[in-house]
Every structure is written in structure tokens, then in C-alpha cells.
């Protein structure tokens, strides 16, 4: 049986975040393993995502594309829900998971009431990234483990190295793609690089 649509969630509330714009917070204690909410938005092709954001200001890290797989990208800017407000964190209390070609946000540890939710966007690097890409996606999540960037890998790979799959990390179906290059995530079955871009609202 298909997983029911999880457009809303009793576990969360959206309010202003110290990290970035709006954020999503635990409305009550959330036990580890809880499937909190589905990342909903218009489902489009990579090509459509590229076209849609072709004029996107490369210095703006604001968009909500999330790569599901090679065929599909979820545009959390349209027909979306609160999941798009969950901020990036280098050491988040949540992770994204793909099931039935849909994206869900799960708790990876117990989350106290009032705590802000976050997960690692692992925004993929791309050869077409602007020179200041590290600046654009600089991370200020405040975690002691903050790697300083929402990008993955954290360091710009040496010349043509293609992003190699990070083993552990890779399994998780992550992420969203910045408007710039959706293609990045060519990865394996589990779309790995997802980019999510921080929003400014
Ligand atoms: Zn960080």
C-alpha cells in the first residue's frame, strides 16, 4: 500500500529561525525514527527545472529543488508545504529519505520540543558553479561540526574529479538542487546530491 500523503505534520511548527529566514521547529518531542513530513512540491523533470530557473540569480541561494532521481525533481517553491522551510544543518537531527519516489524527512535522533529541525542538504558541486559558490552556500548552522558549507564535498574537488560517491553519505537519498544545475545529481539510484537552497523569507 502506498505511503499516505504527508502534506501536513502534527510534529512541527514554522517560525522565524536564527539560522536562516523561517525554520521548522518541533511542536512537541519527536522520537528518533519518526517520519515527520513529506517534502512536497510540483514534480518536474530536470530539464524543466533547468528551464524554470535559467534566469535565476547565481548569487541567490534561494530555491527549493530537490532531486528525487534522474527523472524527477521536486520544486518546493510550487504547490509546496512546510517541509521547504527546514533549514540545512551540517549535523542535523533529521535526514531526507526517498521512498516510492517521494521525499520524506525523518528524525535521526530524539528531538526536544522547540528544537529546530535540520538536515544536511549536501548540495552537489558542479563544474558550472560560479567561482563564489562557496560563499553563496556558506553555512552558519552553528553546529560544532559545521563544515562551513552546504556543499558536498566540502572542498572543491581537484580539477576534473567527478564527485565521487561518498560512501556513507551517499546512501541517503538526499537533496535538493540549486536552481543552477539540477543535473548535478546524476548519481546512482539514490539521488544523492540534492540541493536545497536556503531561502530568504
Ligand atoms: Zn554548518
> pLDDT of 129-179, one tens digit each?
888 988 889 998 999 999 999 998 888 776 544 444 443 343 344 445 443
How sure is the predictor about 197, in pLDDT bands with cuts at 50, 70 and 90?
very low
Distance 2 CA to ligand 1 centre (A): 34
CA distance 85 to 201: 9
Whether the predicted pLDDT of 128 surpasses 70: yes
Distance 64 CA to ligand 1 centre (A): 18
Q: What is the reported pTM?
A: 0.77
Distance 75 CA to ligand 1 centre (A): 23
Residue 58 CB-density burial (10 A; 0-12 exposed, 13-18 middle, 19+ buried): middle
Q: Kindly report the CA angle at 184 between 105 and 175, in degrees rounded to 5? A: 5
Distance 144 CA to ligand 1 centre (A): 8
Distance 97 CA to ligand 1 centre (A): 20
Distance 5 CA to ligand 1 centre (A): 30
Distance 1 CA to ligand 1 centre (A): 37
Distance 91 CA to ligand 1 centre (A): 7
pLDDT at 127: 83
Across 6-10, 49-53, 179-183, the highest mean pLDDT is recorded for 6-10
Mean pLDDT is lowest, of 94-108, 115-129, 184-198, for: 184-198
Q: Give me the residue label for grid cell 528531538.
A: 111
Across 1-5, 115-119, 167-171, 197-201, the highest mean pLDDT is recorded for 115-119
Amino acid at each position: 500500500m502506498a505511503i499516505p500523503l504527508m502534506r501536513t505534520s502534527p510534529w512541527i511548527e514554522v517560525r522565524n529561525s536564527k539560522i536562516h529566514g523561517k525554520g521548522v521547529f518541533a511542536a512537541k518531542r519527536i522520537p528518533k525514527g519518526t517520519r515527520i513530513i513529506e517534502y512536497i512540491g510540483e514534480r518536474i523533470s530536470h530539464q524543466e527545472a533547468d528551464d524554470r530557473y535559467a534566469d535565476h540569480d547565481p548569487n541567490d541561494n534561494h530555491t527549493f529543488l530537490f532531486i528525487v532521481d534522474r527523472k524527477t525533481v521536486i520544486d518546493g517553491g510550487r504547490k509546496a508545504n512546510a517541509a521547504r522551510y527546514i533549514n540545512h544543518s551540517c549535523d542535523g537531527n533529521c535526514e531526507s529519505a526517498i521512498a516510492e519516489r517521494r521525499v520524506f524527512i525523518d528524525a535521526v535522533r530524539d528531538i526536544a520540543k522547540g528544537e529546530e529541525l535540520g538536515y544536511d542538504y549536501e548540495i552537489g558541486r558542479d563544474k558550472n558553479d560560479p567561482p563564489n559558490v562557496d560563499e553563496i552556500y556558506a553555512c552558519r548552522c552553528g553546529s560544532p561540526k559545521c563544515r562551513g558549507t552546504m556543499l558536498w564535498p566540502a572542498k572543491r574537488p581537484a580539477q576534473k574529479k567527478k564527485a565521487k560517491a561518498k560512501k556513507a553519505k551517499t546512501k541517503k537519498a538526499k537533496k535538493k538542487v540549486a536552481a543552477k544545475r539540477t543535473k548535478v545529481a546524476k548519481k546512482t539510484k539514490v539521488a544523492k546530491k540534492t540541493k536545497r537552497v536556503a531561502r530568504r523569507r
